[in-house]
Structure 1
Amino acid sequence: MMSEWLVYPALGVIAGIFAGLLGVGGGVVIVPILLFVFTTQGFPAHHMMQMALATSLGSIVFTSIASFMTHHRHGAVRWDIVMGISPGILIGSFSGTWLAAQLSTRALKIFFACFLYYVASTMLRNFKPKPSRQLPGPLGMNGVGVVIGVISSLVGIGGGSLSVPFMMLCNVPVHHAIGTSAAIGFPIAVAGTLGYVVNGLSIADLPTPHLGYLYIPALFGIALFSFFSAPFGAKLSHKTPVVTLKRIFAVFLMIIATRILWGAL
């Protein structure tokens, strides 16, 4: 038990620094490391991925608050977009957790690995979608929100890898897209966490202490330390060659994705 209280804070520091430094969601770091730690601790394999996703989203509830408040102070949050897309986000995120509860850990690992390949490829290419349209109406916004919510809850992220390109495509300036994405991450994390709690309440063989699929020691260790380390990563981003670091990190993500995919297959 003592090692848990050392490993999870360390993971929180790492996830927070990478999130602030490279602008990637902490979930792409948190979920793979949680899988490794949960495996070494002998957690039940058939629930391991759901627990990793739930715990990742639970930590994002806290870190997203600090993130979007900082962006709000700089006037970078488009609250009209947040309000317009949130109903779909809430529906999609909660529904995605139900789908995750029906899927096997193997299927979720394969999906997560494919998502990591997508994130890594966009970072390697430094992909920035060219503005080519305007934001859709209420129905379209909610439809996009459902898709972003479902995928985010299936991979345990705050949705920035999906919502930022969407907003940039719709002529939202990049700094507003990033700030607004941070605010969108909050309803994703809240609905996703609640969904994993509800869907995990009937599972009898989960390691304690837990709340549904949410593993409490990991949640508090990661959330607390990533909350304070993310601003440090953001400061470093102004002093380091971020494009080069992103490419190095992308290669690292591809290695992780390959390892997860190989283990799943």
Structure 2
Amino acid sequence: MTIDFTHLALFAAALLLTGCVSGFLAGLLGVGGGIIVVPILYMLFPALDVPEAIRMHLAVGTSLATIIPTAITSARAHYAKGGLDPKLLRALAPSILVGVVAGSIFGGKASGTTLILIFAIIALLVSIYMAFRRDSWVLAPALPTSPLLRAPIGLFIGWFSVLMGIGGGTLSVPILSAFSVEMRRAVGTASAVGILIGVPGALGFIATGWGNPLLPPFSLGYCSLIGCALIVPASMLTAPYGVRTAHAISPALLRRAFAVFLLITSIKMFMSAVGS
């Protein structure tokens, strides 16, 4: 596989910019950056002649790997500012992990179009909810106290987040908000959820993609080492700036910004699915 220097330089620059944007958004919105990384990687991988059959798998697996250090940086910053709720995180962690493991196995065997449609549909639904919801729209005054009643919530977050290659904030922020969790606390806790999803999720996609003959060079299963090497440093650098911004603007503005980014990425992925 041959890529000329100019092509490679543009590809590297795009990945660095992707890392900067995803890191900032991870800190700002608690989304783990994957909501930006996945569609951009999906668009960039043709430059490396990645076959359509595994393009979305490689984008998702690479995204899961890149969000781990960003999520750690973001979670530490939110914890220092009092935005991360350890008790809330512990309540959801077991079921989230189960959902991630199950979703990783399913995602590694699903078609690329299936992964694209899951990404697009969930992103669109969450975008609509976040754009039009009101503070009075809540499902309950708090999360269920029973572990059995909380389990479906964590399973849903873990399963669909890993299939989308996102850090959990895309789903956990609106879900926690629906259970009356204050926006900044939801965003801060969601940043730590990214760690729970990223580590086992990345390992799962590495395992399910191991030995696939369609993989490009410098891939570890469904994980591009080139993508990780360029995106991770940039995202870690910009994540703290996103956190500072999150604590400086209103929760309503955070919610609207969250909805706009999700809508844009959803439309793009729907277009990609139709093209496939």
- Scaled to the shorter chain, the TM-score interval is 0.7 to 0.9
Q: Following the alignment from structure 2 to structure 1, what is the Cα–Cα distance between the partners of residues 248 and 80?
A: 22
Equivalent in 104, 114, 125 of residue 121 of structure 2: 114
Equivalent in 153, 170, 175 of residue 161 of structure 1: 170
> Retained in 2: the 8 A contact 1:86–1:142?
no
Alignment of 1:53 with 2:55, yes or no, is: no
Equivalent in 266, 269, 274 of residue 260 of structure 1: 269
Q: Which residue of 2 aligns with 1:38?
A: 45
TM-superposition CA deviations, 1:105-133 (whole Å, max 9, x none): 11111111112212332343265543624
Q: Which residue of 1 aligns with 2:95?
A: 88
The equivalences for 1:198-209 within 5 A come to 198-209=207-218
TM-superposition CA deviations, 1:51-79 (whole Å, max 9, x none): 10111111111111111111222233222
Residues 92 and 37 of structure 1, relative CA distance in 2, 3 Å threshold? same
Using the TM superposition, give the Cα deviation of residue 41 of structure 1 relative to its aligned residue in structure 2, in angstroms: 2.4
SS of the residue corresponding to residue 211 of structure 1 reads coil
Percent of matched pairs sharing the same residue: 34
Using the TM superposition, give the Cα deviation of residue 261 of structure 1 relative to its aligned residue in structure 2, in angstroms: 1.7
Q: Which residue of 1 aligns with 2:82?
A: 75
Q: What stretches of structure 2 of length at least 5 have no aligned partner?
A: 1-7
Q: Which residue of 2 aligns with 1:185?
A: 194
Q: Following the alignment from structure 1 to structure 2, what is the Cα–Cα distance between the partners of residues 219 and 210?
A: 10
Q: Which residue of 1 aligns with 2:132?
A: 125
Q: Which residue of 2 aligns with 1:15?
A: 22
Residues 160 and 53 of structure 1, relative CA distance in 2, 3 Å threshold? same
Q: Which residue of 2 aligns with 1:135?
A: 143
Q: Which residue of 1 aligns with 2:4?
A: none
Q: Following the alignment from structure 1 to structure 2, what is the Cα–Cα distance between the partners of residues 159 and 65?
A: 13
> Retained in 2: the 8 A contact 1:16–1:26?
yes
Alignment of 1:5 with 2:12, yes or no, is: yes
Using the TM superposition, give the Cα deviation of residue 5 of structure 1 relative to its aligned residue in structure 2, in angstroms: 3.1
Q: Which residue of 2 aligns with 1:218?
A: 227
**TM-score normalised to the size of structure 1?**
0.88
Using the TM superposition, give the Cα deviation of residue 15 of structure 1 relative to its aligned residue in structure 2, in angstroms: 1.5
Q: Which residue of 2 aligns with 1:105?
A: 112
> Retained in 2: the 8 A contact 1:84–1:142?
no
AA matched with 1:143:
P
Q: Following the alignment from structure 1 to structure 2, what is the Cα–Cα distance between the partners of residues 162 and 119?
A: 7
Alignment of 1:144 with 2:153, yes or no, is: yes
Using the TM superposition, give the Cα deviation of residue 168 of structure 1 relative to its aligned residue in structure 2, in angstroms: 3.0
Using the TM superposition, give the Cα deviation of residue 12 of structure 1 relative to its aligned residue in structure 2, in angstroms: 0.2
> Retained in 1: the 8 A contact 2:65–2:198?
yes
> Retained in 2: the 8 A contact 1:117–1:257?
yes
The equivalences for 1:243-254 within 5 A come to 247=256, 250-251=259-260, 253-254=262-263
AA matched with 2:66:
S
Q: CA RMSD in A?
A: 2.5
AA matched with 1:186:
I
> Retained in 2: the 8 A contact 1:95–1:195?
no
Report the more deviating stretch, 3-12 or 191-200: 3-12
> Retained in 1: the 8 A contact 2:29–2:169?
no
AA matched with 2:142:
Q
Aligned positions, number:
265
Q: Following the alignment from structure 2 to structure 1, what is the Cα–Cα distance between the partners of residues 178 and 250?
A: 25
Q: What stretches of structure 1 of length at least 5 have no aligned partner?
A: none
**TM-score normalised to the size of structure 2?**
0.85
